[in-house]
Structure 1
Amino acid sequence: MNWTVISDNWLFFLVGAYPYGPLGGLLLTLLLAVGAGILATLLGIGWGLSLTLTSGHIHRLLQSVCEVLRAIPVLLLMFWCFFLLPIVFGIDVPGVLTVIAALALVSGAYLAYAMAAGIAAVPAGQWEAAQASGLSQRQTLRWVVLPQALRIVQPSFVNQWVTLVKDTSLAYIVGVAEFTFVANQVNSREQVYPLEVFGFIALVYLLLCSAVQALGQRLLVKPS
């Protein structure tokens, strides 16, 4: 095995063709994951709260949209946004924004159901005790129920963040030069080191996912 292929191309693995071309490589993968992760978390929490607090037609509409997004493969959603929106609506969506939006929508839909389930898992006595003490419904949700629900759904959130990091590799469908994309370019150019190249890619993704899991355990609400 010859690992010089990694050291000889380390800058290309890191930033792609930048500064002579678009930013790519590992740095772009991190930007995609962070951007989509933040949007998915905000969307998931807000959507989960909406599923909990709404009823009737609004609730069914939110639930239907959520189920549709969970049923659509991320790859297909990226493809639709990038190739069909310019044709149907005349909107030219950049590849990076397409990837972030698709990952955020699908991950947000999964997190919404997890958030709604976490809120439902908080005992009804918590609501009653908080409101009996003079808190409004919004205050009860903000100060009493939501912190407990976040602790309950912590494993689901971390798991979805890890999945989101791996799903950034699907960005190749719209020509976004993320980490796996540039690795394929290196492999095609060198041709004789596929084990070294893809072994390196697997190791980096393992480290990334492990870091996300460790960070998620630190950031999310801990029991008092």
Structure 2
Amino acid sequence: PYIGQWLTGSSRPIRVGAFTSSLVTFVMFEAAYFSEIMRAGIQSISKGQPAAAQALGLTYSQTMRYVVLPQAFRNMLPVLLTQTIVLFQDTSLVYVLSIPDFLGAASKVAQRDGRLVEMYLFAAVVYFSISFITSLGIRRLQTRISFVH
């Protein structure tokens, strides 16, 4: 709120709701992870690749676009997708801010019907199933794109 006040020149802090607060938090938190994954992916490319591209007369942007990033993307894709699964699992934290989500809905139904254990187990099975199936897909993708030596 105070940064928004400073940016807009307002006399009072701007009002920030639960959704905006959670969105800003997730974007900032996950951006750090995703940018680190991308940095590591780019650094995983041997120094000889950009040097060869430069020797061919490619500019820096052409080198990144046609030589480095395609190889780096191949290296970082499984990790990016795994981090996306972590982000999916972290979205259940918005329940703390009273934002309606799957876990919050399960909790409301559990309290209404008096079946806490069943509903929380159901929510856990759904989260586990989605995460497990997605991770199997990522593992399959990783074996498909890996180099055969």
- 1:113 partner SS: helix
Contact 2:41 2:75 in 1 (8 A): yes
| Residue 125 of structure 1 pairs with residue 52 of structure 2 | no
| Residue 205 of structure 1 pairs with residue 127 of structure 2 | yes
Return the TM-score normalized by structure 1.
Answer: 0.54
Cα RMSD after superposing both structures: 2.6
Q: Using the alignment, how far apart are the partners of 2:146 and 2:103 within structure 1?
A: 38
Contact 2:42 2:69 in 1 (8 A): yes
Identity %: 32
Aligned to 2:105: 182
Q: Using the alignment, how far apart are the partners of 1:125 and 1:87 within structure 2?
A: 44
Aligned to 1:160: 83
Match of 1:104 among 27, 32, 44: 27
Contact 1:158 1:216 in 2 (8 A): no
Contact 1:127 1:140 in 2 (8 A): yes
Following superposition, the deviation at residue 166 of structure 1 comes to 0.8
Following superposition, the deviation at residue 210 of structure 1 comes to 3.3
Higher relative contact order (CA 8 A, sep 6+): 1
Following superposition, the deviation at residue 216 of structure 1 comes to 9.2
Aligned to 1:141: 64
Aligned 1:62-73 pairs, distance under 5 A:
none
Structure 1: 5+ residue runs without aligned partners?
1-84
Following superposition, the deviation at residue 86 of structure 1 comes to 7.0
- 2:75 partner SS: helix
Return the TM-score normalized by structure 2.
Answer: 0.79
Structure 2: 5+ residue runs without aligned partners?
6-12
Q: Using the alignment, how far apart are the partners of 1:222 and 1:101 within structure 2?
A: 34
Post-superposition, which runs of at least 4 consecutive aligned residues in structure 1 deviate over 3 A? 86-89, 210-213, 215-218, 221-224
Q: Deviations over 1:153-197 (max 9, x none)?
A: 223212211110111111022220111111111111112x22221
Q: Using the alignment, how far apart are the partners of 2:139 and 2:88 within structure 1?
A: 13
Contact 1:86 1:93 in 2 (8 A): no
Q: Which has the larger radius of gyration?
A: 2
Which amino acid letter does the alignment assign opposite residue 100 of structure 2?
A: A
Q: Using the alignment, how far apart are the partners of 1:147 and 1:87 within structure 2?
A: 38
